[in-house]
Amino acid sequence: MIKNVVLIGFMGVGKSSTGRMLANMLGFKFIDMDKAIEKKYQMTIPEMFEKHGEAYFREREKEMCREAAARKSVVIATGGGTIKDPENVAILKRTGRIICLSASVDSIVERTSGKGTRPLLDAMEDRRQGIIELLAQRQPMYDQADYTLDTTDLSPMQVARDIISYMKHR
C-alpha cells in the first residue's frame, strides 16, 4: 500500500508550499492541517490562540491529525508544533511516511519575517534567539522522521522531486 506523506518541521521550512506541489505531482489530495483547522472553526490560527489559548489549539490540532491520518493517498502538511505530542506522531505514523523538512536559522528567520500569522513568533522578544531556542527544544521530535531533507537552497519543486525519489526507493 502506498502510504500517505506527512511533512513535519519547523515554521518556515516550506511544508505547505512543498506539500501542495508534491500532492499535485503524486495525484494525491493535499491537507494543510492549519488551513483545515481554520476552515473547520471559521477562525484564523492567531485568532484561535488569542481567544482560546494555545492548549485549545493543540486539542484541535490533535483532532485534525486523526482526521487527516484516516484519509488515503494524501499529503499532509503539519504545523511546526504538531509533533510535540508523541500521540500525534504515533497517529500520523500509522498511515504515513514522516518526512522532516529543515532549513538554516537564517532562512527560517527570513521566511517567517511577516507578522500576524504565527502567534508563537510574534510573542518572542528577540525573534532570532527565540527561534534558535525553540528549534533546539524541538529537534529531538523532528529527528523521529523517517527521512530528513534540508530545504535551505532548494525550491519547493526540487524538494518535492527529492521526496518522490525517496518514496520510490522505500
Q: Choose, by CB under 6 A, the member of 23, 31, 83, 120 that binds ligand S3P.
A: 120
Q: What is the dihedral of CA 38, 40, 59, 68, to 10 degrees?
A: -100
Is residue 119 at the binding interface for ligand S3P, with CB under 6 A as the rule?
A: yes
CB of 150 to ligand S3P, least distance (A): 16
CA distances from 23 to 19, 41, 75, 161 (A): 6, 24, 6, 11
In order, the DSSP letters of 33-72 are HHHHHHHHHTS-HHHHHHHH-HHHHHHHHHHHHHHHHTSS
Q: Is the dihedral of CA 128, 145, 158, 116 positive or negative?
A: negative
Is residue 19 at the binding interface for ligand S3P, with CB under 6 A as the rule?
A: no
Is residue 14 at the binding interface for ligand S3P, with CB under 6 A as the rule?
A: no
Q: Choose, by CB under 6 A, the member of 4, 21, 28, 34 that binds ligand S3P.
A: 34
Is residue 108 at the binding interface for ligand S3P, with CB under 6 A as the rule?
A: no
Is residue 141 at the binding interface for ligand S3P, with CB under 6 A as the rule?
A: no
Binding site for ligand S3P (CB under 6 A): 11, 15, 34, 45, 79-81, 118-120
